[in-house]
């Protein structure tokens, strides 16, 4: 279908950042069009069916103090689906699974001596309560941990955690990112317990409600339409071309991964194209197992073993019970990777075989016939590589091209990328575009502070 019409705002990318921008702008009476490359809206929040219920392709939970997502859930009238549950964390180390949720767990954690326990506790408290992320951008987190938490604590806990999250980029991650993460985790703890949030029925409930509200507000949602041209005259945005659509506007916001922006921007502004190319991403694989039995009783298990083909096991049914999935126990085997690592080129079958073969190391009773079904999901753009002094690389949301804005995962730094923080970035992007978003409550998120200068 070919269209030629004018919107107040065109949002490119129909993931949560793009949809949240559209939602906020539509509430302010803007005529918005959302352009999505793939056949479905939601980006990394897309789901699939398990036992008659939808489940996220990539594990998702949120935190009690996540003000922005809690606001959106209430605003969409789906709070009856929201649930917060106590969870168990654990560490697999040298052939054994240890509980690692409460201070009691820490006290009985035998891989640490008493001095390690003290250093672990004090260094964590300092990062979560006292440290200023702005002053720690040039310090690699792992060097800091080695110095202040000690070699053993770093080797058993922090190095595996950063390896799990950043793969071979773990050594580049600044302490600032760790500060953002520690503040987030400590905020969701009460008396040592951590409660994590989930929407019964999956994030599809949120996406469906959002899309329905956007449609009611007259927002145009166009999928299967990767943007292929940005129309600019005299350094001002005039519109875009996407698939067979030619759409006119004076404001465009790019919310998709920066990796894909270079070719669109280069003909109009070489310097900006160079700046967006500096933002690198890494990928993630989630192998989702439908099982007859549980692997462990832990929700989140960090696997501290360099030989393991996954960095963590997130056993979803230890958060939301198997009764919601027709009795299936569900576990994500998660691995982050860089594009030059072998796993990036492996077929789904190879990934499945490699990962499931390792499970007896975690639970010696595990048998392949526990598995009912396997699903492998892979993305090349799971997160941005947050390197030292990353704030200098973050591209300003308001670009030098009049009417062109960029708001995506890079603006979440120094926080952990998340749905909540994407909504914060969306709110900041609306402000930058002159659309009032002050009605979106601002929580403890550190996102949206970098890259939004006037």
Ligand X SMILES: Cc1cc2nc3c(=O)[nH]c(=O)nc-3n(C[C@H](O)[C@H](O)[C@H](O)COP(=O)(O)OP(=O)(O)OC[C@H]3O[C@@H](n4cnc5c(N)ncnc54)[C@H](O)[C@@H]3O)c2cc1C
Q: Distance between CA atoms of 178 and 208, rounded to whole angstroms?
A: 33
Instruction: Compute the half-sphere exposure of residue 148: CA atoms within 13 Å on the CB side of its CA.
Output: 17
In this structure, the strands spanning 9-12 and 32-35 are: parallel
Nearest distance, CB of residue 205 and ligand X, angstroms: 15
Single out the residue of 22, 44, 78, 237 in contact with ligand X (rule: CB under 6 A): 44
Q: Distance between CA atoms of 235 and 384, rounded to whole angstroms?
A: 29
Q: Is 128 in the site for ligand X (CB under 6 A)?
A: no
Single out the residue of 11, 18, 33, 411 in contact with ligand X (rule: CB under 6 A): 18
Single out the residue of 154, 251, 379, 387 in contact with ligand X (rule: CB under 6 A): 379
Give me the phi and psi of 449, to 5 degrees please.
-95, -25
Instruction: Compute the half-sphere exposure of residue 18: CA atoms within 13 Å on the CB side of its CA.
Output: 30
Nearest Cα to 377, choosing from 311, 286, 312, 281? 286
Identify which of residues 285 and 359 has a Cβ nearer to ligand X in the complex: 285
Single out the residue of 8, 38, 231, 266 in contact with ligand X (rule: CB under 6 A): 38
Q: Is 409 in the site for ligand X (CB under 6 A)?
A: yes
Q: Is 17 in the site for ligand X (CB under 6 A)?
A: yes
In this structure, the strands spanning 193-199 and 53-56 are: unpaired
Q: Is 411 in the site for ligand X (CB under 6 A)?
A: no
Q: Is 204 in the site for ligand X (CB under 6 A)?
A: no
Single out the residue of 7, 10, 11, 13 in contact with ligand X (rule: CB under 6 A): 13
Q: Of residues 48-107, which lie at the interface with ligand X (CB under 6 A)?
A: 58-62
Q: Is 286 in the site for ligand X (CB under 6 A)?
A: yes
Identify which of residues 24 and 149 has a Cβ nearer to ligand X in the complex: 24
Single out the residue of 22, 32, 34, 45 in contact with ligand X (rule: CB under 6 A): 45
Are 111 and 152 contacting, i.e. CB atoms less than 8 angstroms apart? yes
Nearest distance, CB of residue 143 and ligand X, angstroms: 26
> Tokens standing for 147?
């110095």
Report which DSSP code applies to 402: B
Give me the phi and psi of 19, to 5 degrees please.
-65, -35
Q: Is 121 in the site for ligand X (CB under 6 A)?
A: no
Nearest distance, CB of residue 300 and ligand X, angstroms: 10
Single out the residue of 88, 335, 411, 417 in contact with ligand X (rule: CB under 6 A): 417
Nearest Cα to 252, choosing from 265, 263, 271? 265
Residues 6+ positions from 379 with CB-CB distance below 8 Å: 44, 58, 283, 284
State the helix-helix crossing angle for 141-148 and 159-166, rounded to 10 degrees.
Answer: 170
Q: Is 15 in the site for ligand X (CB under 6 A)?
A: yes
Q: Distance between CA atoms of 123 and 140, rounded to whole angstroms?
A: 15
Single out the residue of 106, 419, 433, 446 in contact with ligand X (rule: CB under 6 A): 419
What DSSP element (H or E) covers 378?
A: strand 371-384
Identify which of residues 123 and 245 has a Cβ nearer to ligand X in the complex: 245
Single out the residue of 175, 207, 230, 382 in contact with ligand X (rule: CB under 6 A): 382
Candidates 84-92, 173-181, 375-383, 393-401 — which segment interacts with ligand X by CB under 6 A?
Answer: 375-383
By CB under 6 A, name the binding residues for ligand X.
12-18, 35-38, 43-45, 58-62, 226-227, 255-257, 260, 284, 286, 379, 381-382, 408-409, 417-420, 422
């Amino acid at each position: 279908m070919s269209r030629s019409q004018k919107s107040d705002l065109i949002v490119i990318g129909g993931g949560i950042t793009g949809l949240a921008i559209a939602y906020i702008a539509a509430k302010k009476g803007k005529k918005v069009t959302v352009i999505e490359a793939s056949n479905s809206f939601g980006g990394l929040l897309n789901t699939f069916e398990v036992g008659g219920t939808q489940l996220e392709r990539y594990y998702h939970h949120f935190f009690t103090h996540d003000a922005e997502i809690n606001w959106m859930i209430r605003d969409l009238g789906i709070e009856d689906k929201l649930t917060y549950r106590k969870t168990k964390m654990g560490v697999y180390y040298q052939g054994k699974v240890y509980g690692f949720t409460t201070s009691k767990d820490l006290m009985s954690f035998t891989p640490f001596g008493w001095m390690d326990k003290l250093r672990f506790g004090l260094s964590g408290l300092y990062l979560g309560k006292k440290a200023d992320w702005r002053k720690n951008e040039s310090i690699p987190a792992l060097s800091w941990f080695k110095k202040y938490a000690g070699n053993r604590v770093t080797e058993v806990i922090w190095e595996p955690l950063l390896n799990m999250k950043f793969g071979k980029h773990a050594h580049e991650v600044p302490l600032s990112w760790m500060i953002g993460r520690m503040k987030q985790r400590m905020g969701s703890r009460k008396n040592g317990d951590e409660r994590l949030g989930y929407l019964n029925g999956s994030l599809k409930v949120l996406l469906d409600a959002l899309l329905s509200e956007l449609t009611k507000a007259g927002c145009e949602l166009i999928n299967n339409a990767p943007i292929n041209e940005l129309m600019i005259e005299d350094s001002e945005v005039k519109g875009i071309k996407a698939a067979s659509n030619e759409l006119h506007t004076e404001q465009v916001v790019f919310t998709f991964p920066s990796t894909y922006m270079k070719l669109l921007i280069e003909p109009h502004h070489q310097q900006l194209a160079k700046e967006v190319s500096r933002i690198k991403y890494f990928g993630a694989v989630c192998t989702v197992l439908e099982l007859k039995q549980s692997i462990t009783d832990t929700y989140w298990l960090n696997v501290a073993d360099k030989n393991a083909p996954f960095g963590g096991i997130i056993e979803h049914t230890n958060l939301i019970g198997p009764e919601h999935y027709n009795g299936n126990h569900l576990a994500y085997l998660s691995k982050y990777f860089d594009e030059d690592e072998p796993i990036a080129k492996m077929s789904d079958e190879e990934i499945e075989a490699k990962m499931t073969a390792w499970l007896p190391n975690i639970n010696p009773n595990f048998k392949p016939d526990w598995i009912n079904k396997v699903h492998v999901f892979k993305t090349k753009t799971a997160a941005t590589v947050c390197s030292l002094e990353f704030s200098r690389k973050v591209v300003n949301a308001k670009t030098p091209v009049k009417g062109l804005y960029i708001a995506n995962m890079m603006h979440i730094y120094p926080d952990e990328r998340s749905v909540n923080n994407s909504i914060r970035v969306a709110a900041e992007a609306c402000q930058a575009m002159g659309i009032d978003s002050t009605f979106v409550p601002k929580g403890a998120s550190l996102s949206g502070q970098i890259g939004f200068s006037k």
